[in-house]
Structures are given as C-alpha cells and as structure tokens.
C-alpha cells in the first residue's frame, strides 16, 4: 500500500505482514539481480504544497520481545546507545554540535516489537542529516561511558519514574504484567532491574550484530526530498547492515482465563490510578477491528469528551481528569492527543484507562467503568450516538496525519500491516452500520473477564472493600448533583463485581519490574 504523501523503501517482506519488497545488499548484488527483483523508485520531488521539511524514519521489526531471558531492556538500551551514544567518528557531544545548526535531532523509541529512529529536517540540510543518521546507525560508538550513562538512566526510569513518580504509568504497566504473565509482552520496554543489571556492553554489541539486519528494516522518506534521495539513502543503510537475522520470536497465545482478576499496587500516593483490559484476538489486519475501533471511540476517545466514560465520569461527576478506551496499544505522541505511529504488535488488547481518582471513589470508579462497558456490550451503541461517532471519526482521523513525520509513520504502518488505519477508516466508515459495531462488541469485549490494576496507598483496604460485596457510593464535594445522576449512582454503587479473593493480589511497588 503506497501512501500518496510519503515514499517508503521496504527492504524485505516482514514475516506475517503485507509489504512490498525491493532488492537488498551491496551495489553489485543489487545490479546482478535488478532484472529479477523490483526496484525502489526515486522519491518524488516536493508535492506537499511547498513544505520544506522532510521526515526520515528507519523502522526495525525488533523490540522488547527479542530481549534474551534475564536481560529485559536490552533492545531498548541498544537503540538508546545508537541514538545517544555517538559514532565511531565522533562522540555524542560532537553529534549534538553537528545537529544544532540543522535544527534537527534523532529520536528513538522501542516498543514490544518495533524500534524506530526518526527525525525531520529542512531539505537544505537533508544530505548532511542523512549522512549523520547513517553514521550513527551503521557505525555506533558503543563506548563504555555512554553505556553506563544510559543504563543508569534506564534503571532510574524503572525504579524511580515508574515505581515512584508516575502512578498512571505504573498502573498501565501493572495491567500489562497482569494481562501477559509469562508472555514476551510482560516486562516494560525499558526493562527490569534484574535485566538491566545483568546487561553488559558486549550484550549490546551482540544484539546489534544479530538483530540490526536488512531483513528487519523498513526505511521511509517523506515527500520533499530531491529525486533519487530515498533510493540512495536505502543503499547507504543496506550496505552497512547484516543481511539476515534470526526468525522473529514466536508469541504464545496470551492468557484468557475467565472471570475478573486484579492486582493492587501499594505505594505512597494521594490518589488511585486504575487501568483494566484483556487481550484481543484481532489487530488492524482484521476486518472486525474497524467497527470495534469505532466502539472504543464511542466508549472513550483519548483525551476528548466524545467518549461515554469521559462524559459520565468526568463531565457529569467530576471524578477525575479523564477516562479513555482503546482496542490496541496506545502510546501518546508527545504532548499531543494523538497516538504514536509505528507501535504495532502481532497481538493486541482492549484497555480502559481511568486517570487518578480520590481513594474514597476508587471502588465506584472501577464499578462504573465495568458497568458502562457491560451496558454497551449488552445494549449496543444507540443509533444517534453511532451516527455522531462515525461522523466524528471521519473528521478526527484526518488529524492523525497532519505533519510529514506522522504521515510517514502511518504510511509505514500500512506497509507493515497491509492496511493504513486512517485510509481504511475513511473507506469503511461511510458504509459501516450499527449492527456491525454491536456484533463485534459482543464477539470481542468481555466485561466479566477483565484484568484490573490499581495503584493505591491503602491497597489492603481497597481489596477488602471490593471483595466484601458492599455498596460503594461515590462521594461528591458539592451539593446539587442532578436526580438522574444520583439514581444511576445507586445502580453503580451496588454493581456486583463477583471477584474471587484468590485472584485479587496486593503487591508493593518495590516488587514490580524486578
């Protein structure tokens, strides 16, 4: 699938994904096989309305799932060391000095199954920037001082940021731990304490030699580059990487045990952060994903008031800052409201994110999220709300590709998955029906089988309350709540969770991610 606003050069057909292929390797190998293998076309000249910025992305189909046993965090640390550790020709300080006059940088992130190096630069500096990016990717410095610096930074992220400073992220990672026990997705992408402490510089070098290979790479260049640039950049990258890597790590089916289960993380905190969800058997590659995506938007579009959870929990009850729902992993792109592109997985999950609530309302918040989800699955989406959500998504999805970097990222996702989500929604939404959405809700969303994670100071008290079967009324700070909201509160506070005490665990934050 070629995107009209980006040119992508694909090195190889990634296992299990639909993508076009081009020849790989050194110039003599490419020339010898030119008659047999399709060649990448030159990147077009600027057709983006005079935009002088050009985006570059180098995506490797390797991520945290490739971390060896006992070395969780190796994939992420390797990528960081490449982007933030300099090259054989110059240390990182000199790299920064070279990037500064270009007004550019090289970003990197590692997810479960992908590592992405990315940047945007003015076309006048494109050649110099591309040479520097290739230098970092192909001849990383891998110096011990940089390794120690970035390893400490990763350990601080796990032990200080996740465990101590960011309750919301801690709750989301605790949910991942609960949903994917004994699965390659279980550990944080940044790693674990044991994994990072057990990782050496030699491990990083070996990981780079093994997995930074042509058969895992997708190179993208947005429009605005000179003719021939994309192909030349591809040749430069392909000539310096290993030619083959091991098969991708096999993924077992995620645990799908029936009934609710819960992990309450105990730590010093003034509020309670909550996440809940369960694995899904579909991804963007499946037809049913798209009506399910609309259902999730109706239930809780990220950081907008379009979602039912946001309207009812924040808007009508003032319970917290936000409440959202997703049917695939969601990583926010910086400070925007939009998802980060190039985070695709072979397995996905349904998730609800309840931003922190006061402890007195934690049990009610958990019940309300499940209550609203159960109501949606049982009754379906109301016709008027379906029509509104469809119209909303038709417009909102266009914002996902509003700049060169995001357009390129989404086009690369389409290359890997076989379907570019914004274009797929634009094609499917006009003909999508309420009946389709109601069907997929019943087929895939299981409110009675959710995994629930909460971060709370008084974890044992919350556990006892949830297991007691008692009513858990919401506490309002002010009077004047409308009668219809109070009547609905009565239904929610008595909603039966049917938790099994053997499946409600309490664990100190200090014991997570060890």
User: What residues does 350 pair with on adjacent strands?
Assistant: 278
Per DSSP, the three-state class of 10 is strand
What is the phi/psi pair of residue 279, to 5°? -60, 155
Q: Read out DSSP for 327-357? A: SS---B-TTSSSBPSS---SSEEEEEEEEEE
Could you say which DSSP state residue 215 is in? Answer: G
Q: Domain check: are 196 and 273 in the same one? A: no
What strands lie across the sheet with 323-326, from one edge to the other? Answer: 323-326, 348-357, 272-280, 451-456, 261-266, 504-508
Residues 6 or more apart from 436 whose CB is under 8 A from it? Answer: 291
Q: What is the pLDDT of residues 109-133, one digit of tens each?
A: 999 999 999 999 999 999 999 999 9
Q: Domain check: are 166 and 300 in the same one? A: no
Residue corresponding to tokens 């819960």: 262
pLDDT surpasses 90 at 252 = yes
With respect to residue 514, please indicate whether it lies within any of the assigned structural domains: no
pLDDT surpasses 90 at 256 = no
pLDDT confidence of residue 224: 86
With respect to residue 512, please indicate whether it lies within any of the assigned structural domains: no
pLDDT surpasses 60 at 40 = no
pLDDT surpasses 90 at 1 = no
Which of 11-20, 155-164, 184-193, 273-282 has the lowest average pLDDT? 11-20
Q: Domain check: are 228 and 85 in the same one? A: yes
pLDDT confidence of residue 284: 96
User: What is the count of structural domains for the chain?
Assistant: 2
Q: What is the mean pLDDT of residues 349-374?
A: 98
Q: What is the mean pLDDT of residues 490-513?
A: 95
With respect to residue 247, please indicate whether it lies within any of the assigned structural domains: no
With respect to residue 511, please indicate whether it lies within any of the assigned structural domains: no
Give residue 292's pLDDT band: very low, low, confident or very high (50, 70, 90): very high
With respect to residue 310, please indicate whether it lies within any of the assigned structural domains: yes
pLDDT surpasses 90 at 324 = yes
Q: What is the pLDDT of residues 455-472, one digit of tens each?
A: 999 999 999 999 999 999
Left, alpha or beta for 303 (phi > 0: left; psi -120 to 50: alpha)? left
Name the nearest CA neighbour of 5 among 257, 276, 220: 220
β-strand pairing of 261-266 with 348-357: unpaired
Q: Domain check: are 120 and 177 in the same one? A: yes
Q: Domain check: are 427 and 483 in the same one? A: yes
Q: What is the pLDDT of residues 200-233, one digit of tens each?
A: 999 999 999 999 999 999 999 998 899 899 999 9
Structure tokens at 507: 């664990």
Q: How far apart are CA 151 and CA 80, in angstroms?
A: 9
Give residue 12's pLDDT band: very low, low, confident or very high (50, 70, 90): very low
Q: How far apart are CA 422 and CA 308, in angstroms?
A: 22
pLDDT confidence of residue 41: 30
| 444 contacts 282 by C-beta, under 8 angstroms | yes
pLDDT confidence of residue 258: 87
pLDDT confidence of residue 8: 56
Q: Domain check: are 29 and 146 in the same one? A: yes
Q: What is the pLDDT of residues 378-389, one digit of tens each?
A: 999 999 999 999
pLDDT confidence of residue 316: 95
Could you say which DSSP state residue 142 is in? Answer: -
Structure tokens at 512: 């997570």
| Residues recorded for the chain | 514
Residue corresponding to tokens 């990037």: 99
Q: What is the mean pLDDT of residues 285-301?
A: 97
As a whole number, the mean pLDDT across the chain is: 89
CATH number at residue 234: 3.30.830.10
15 or 153: which leads in pLDDT:
153
Q: What is the mean pLDDT of residues 268-286?
A: 96
Could you say which DSSP state residue 265 is in? Answer: E
Q: What is the pLDDT of residues 76-120, one digit of tens each?
A: 999 999 999 999 999 999 999 999 999 999 999 999 999 999 999
pLDDT confidence of residue 9: 53
Residues 6 or more apart from 288 whose CB is under 8 A from it? Answer: 282, 440, 443, 444
Q: Domain check: are 380 and 469 in the same one? A: yes
Q: Domain check: are 223 and 268 in the same one? A: no
Q: How far apart are CA 53 and CA 225, in angstroms?
A: 9
Q: Domain check: are 341 and 466 in the same one? A: yes
Residue corresponding to tokens 């994904």: 17
Q: What is the mean pLDDT of residues 176-186?
A: 93
Residue corresponding to tokens 């070996």: 206
pLDDT confidence of residue 503: 95
pLDDT surpasses 70 at 42 = no
Provide the domain limits for residue 171.
Answer: 6-240
Q: Domain check: are 204 and 274 in the same one? A: no
pLDDT surpasses 50 at 344 = yes
Longest distance between any two alpha carbons in the chain, whole Å: 79
Domain boundary among 240, 274, 293: 240
The reported pTM is: 0.89
Domain boundary among 205, 240, 275: 240
pLDDT surpasses 90 at 286 = yes
pLDDT surpasses 80 at 46 = no
With respect to residue 248, please indicate whether it lies within any of the assigned structural domains: no
Give residue 400's pLDDT band: very low, low, confident or very high (50, 70, 90): very high
With respect to residue 378, please indicate whether it lies within any of the assigned structural domains: yes
């Amino acid at each position: 699938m070629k995107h009209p606003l980006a040119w992508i050069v694909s090195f190889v057909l990634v296992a299990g994904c639909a993508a076009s292929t081009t020849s790989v390797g050194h110039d003599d190998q490419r020339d010898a096989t030119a008659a047999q293998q399709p060649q990448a076309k030159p990147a077009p000249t600027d057709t983006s309305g005079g935009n002088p910025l050009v985006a570059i992305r180098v995506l490797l189909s390797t991520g945290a799932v490739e971390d060896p046993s006992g070395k969780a965090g190796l994939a992420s640390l390797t990528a960081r060391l490449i982007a933030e550790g300099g090259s054989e020709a110059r240390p990182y300080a000199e790299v920064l000095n070279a990037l500064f006059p270009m007004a550019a940088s090289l970003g990197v992130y590692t997810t479960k199954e992908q590592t992405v190096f990315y940047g945007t630069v003015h076309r006048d500096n494109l050649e110099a920037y591309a040479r520097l990016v290739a230098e970092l990717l192909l001849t990383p410095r891998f110096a011990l001082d940089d390794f120690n610096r970035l390893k400490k930074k990763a350990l601080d992220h796990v032990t200080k940021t996740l465990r101590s400073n960011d309750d919301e992220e801690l709750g989301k990672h605790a949910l991942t731990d609960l949903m994917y026990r004994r699965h390659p997705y279980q550990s944080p992408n940044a790693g674990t304490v044991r994994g990072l402490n057990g990782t050496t510089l030699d491990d990083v070098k070996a990981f780079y030699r093994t997995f930074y290979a042509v058969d895992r790479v997708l190179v993208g260049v947005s429009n605005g580059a000179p003719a021939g640039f994309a192909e030349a950049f591809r040749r430069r990258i392909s000539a310096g990487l290993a030619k083959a890597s091991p098969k991708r790590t096999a993924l077992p089916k995620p645990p799908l045990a029936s009934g609710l289960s819960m992990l309450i993380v105990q730590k010093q905190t003034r509020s309670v952060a909550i996440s809940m969800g369960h694995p899904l058997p579909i991804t963007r590659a499946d037809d049913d994903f798209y009506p399910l995506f609309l259902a999730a938007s109706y239930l809780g579009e990220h950081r907008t008031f379009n979602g039912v959870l946001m309207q009812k929990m924040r808007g009508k009850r003032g319970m917290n800052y936000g409440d959202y729902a997703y049917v695939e992993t969601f990583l926010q792109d910086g400070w925007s409201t939009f998802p980060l592109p190039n985070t695709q997985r072979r397995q996905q999950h349904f998730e609800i994110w309840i931003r922190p609530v006061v402890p007195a309302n934690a049990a009610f918040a958990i019940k309300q999220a499940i209550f609203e989800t159960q109501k949606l699955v049982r009754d379906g989406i109301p016709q008027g709300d379906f029509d509104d959500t469809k119209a909303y998504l038709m417009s909102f999805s266009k914002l996902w590709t509003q700049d060169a970097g995001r357009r390129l990222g989404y086009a690369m996702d389409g290359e890997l998955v076989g379907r570019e989500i914004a274009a797929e929604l634009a094609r499917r939404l006009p003909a999508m029906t309420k009946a389709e959405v109601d069907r997929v809700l019943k087929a895939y969303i299981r409110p009675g089988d959710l995994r629930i994670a909460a971060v709370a100071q008084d974890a044992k008290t919350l556990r006892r309350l949830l297991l007691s079967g008692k009513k858990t009324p919401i506490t309002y700070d002010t009077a004047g709540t409308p009668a219809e909201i109070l009547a609905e509160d009565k239904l929610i506070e008595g909603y039966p969770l049917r938790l099994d005490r053997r499946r409600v665990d309490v664990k100190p934050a200090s014991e997570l991610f060890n």
